[in-house]
Amino acid sequence: MQPHRMPEAGIVNSPETYQQMLAHLATQDTIAIDTESNSLHAYHERVCLIQLSSSTSDFLLDPFAFTELDDLGMLFARADIQKVFHAGDYDIGCLKRDFEFTFHNIFDTMLAATALAEPNLGFAALIEKYFDLILDKKYQRANWGERPLKAEMLSYAQCDSHFLIPLRDTLLPQLEASNRLQLVLEDSEGMARLVKPLAQHMEDIWRVKGAQDLSAEALSLLDALNHMRELIASKRDVPPFKVLSDRALIEIAQTQPHFIQELSLLPSLPERQVRRYGSLLMQTIQTWRENPKKVSPRRNHRLSDAEMKRRDALSNWRKQTGMDEGLPSNAIISRDLLDRLAHLEISDSNELKQAMKFFPYRYERYGTAIFEVLERTKE
């Protein structure tokens, strides 16, 4: 295995380096993009680094150094420049949330690998397969909100955009030879249009794993405990799980201890957390006992019988079509599109065409078959 030498990345953290980067990228027909965020280290996640590459240069942009990135957003919105991502729905959602960017002309290498029925869709696995290079993923869970960033972290981040354009160029001939390129381009454009800005963290008792299995009384206490955890996490600017685990909250809600010593008997509550939060936990429990509050039921997302019937029929058709064409089922139509079609009561082909307006190639290729499947569910 030959070592790969990357060009030195340009660190973009000043008006001068920003303008130099923009001037270069504006002349390109392709830009590779990746991001690093701090979801494991902050109460409210944010984009902490934006990696951008052309076929000749790599840039590491520090968004903390700028009050706005509107000129970069204009590049992302240009239809004449293709933007290459890998599993870009998360990156695009983060960038839309933090900077209100819009995107046109996307190519996603994970969607490409999916259409080619690659057995492993991970970026590192594809780079190893096609370029005989092993990428070091040791900084995958690092705190990208820290400054200054270590040189090793910057090198790690550079790899994630540096290899995207070569990977796209490697997969393109295979997609063209198998007549699957249009599927990938359509899904990629759908990603650009349909991925919503990621929501900021919000307090929600139903996000606590195990909440749905509790009695009404235990759920009421869990609500109080979870609110306490959210207040601490927000003040410390850390994710709630770094204060107390979901399992610890569930165990406290179930046992409803009367004495602080009982907390040390709980399997999921380390002694250091008892020392740090024990008094506050007992105070929260006592306040709850004096004034327990009823928790509103979780909104019922149960599908109607008709919707379930349509979804099952479309799922079976998608699976069989994928087997017939040698494609993964989600390359036929995505799960999101399947759910959208199952939710609608479509009465004619024009309504189906409207429902698939962002997927015209798929409508042309599969529209008749999909309409027939939906019609059979009415029998």
The answer to the question of residue 298 being in a domain is no
Domain termination residue (choose one: 257, 290, 323): 290
Can you give the C-alpha Rg of the chain in angstroms? Answer: 25
Q: Are 135 and 210 in a shared domain?
A: no
CATH number, residue 317: 1.10.150
Q: Are 358 and 314 in a shared domain?
A: yes
Q: Rounded to 5 degrees, what are φ and ψ at 271?
A: -60, -35
Q: Are 320 and 265 in a shared domain?
A: no
- For the range 310-315, what are the long-range contacts, defined as Cβ-Cβ under 8 Å and sequence gap of 24 or more? 310/341, 310/342, 310/374, 310/377, 311/338, 311/339, 311/342, 313/373, 313/374, 313/376, 313/377, 314/338, 314/341, 314/342, 314/370, 314/373, 314/374
CATH number, residue 163: 3.30.420.10
Cα 146 to Cα 36, 38, 157, 233, 358, distances in angstroms: 12, 9, 14, 18, 40
Q: Are 249 and 158 in a shared domain?
A: no
Residue environment code for 55-67, b if the CB has 16+ CB neighbours within 10 A, otherwise e: eebbbbbbbeebe
State the average pLDDT over residues 189-195.
Answer: 93
Residues 79-120: tens digit of each pLDDT: 999 999 999 999 999 999 999 999 999 999 999 999 999 999
Is the model's pLDDT at 377 over the cut of 80?
yes
Q: Are 273 and 176 in a shared domain?
A: no
Q: Which residue has the tokens 């039921």?
A: 297
The answer to the question of residue 297 being in a domain is no
Residue 51: beta bridge partners? 34, 60
Q: Are 249 and 104 in a shared domain?
A: no
Give the separation between CA 184 and CA 348, rounded to whole angstroms.
27
Residues 130-177: tens digit of each pLDDT: 999 999 888 989 999 999 999 999 999 999 999 999 999 999 999 999
CATH number, residue 270: 1.10.150.80
The DSSP string of 155-222 is HHHHHHHHTHHHHHHHHHHHHHHTT-HHHHHHHHHHHHHHPPPPPPP---GGGSTTGGGS-HHHHHHH
pTM to 2 decimal places: 0.91
The count of structural domains within the chain is 3
Q: Are 71 and 186 in a shared domain?
A: yes
The answer to the question of residue 282 being in a domain is yes
Domain termination residue (choose one: 194, 227, 258): 194
The answer to the question of residue 285 being in a domain is yes
Q: Are 148 and 216 in a shared domain?
A: no
Domain region containing 58: 10-194
The answer to the question of residue 173 being in a domain is yes
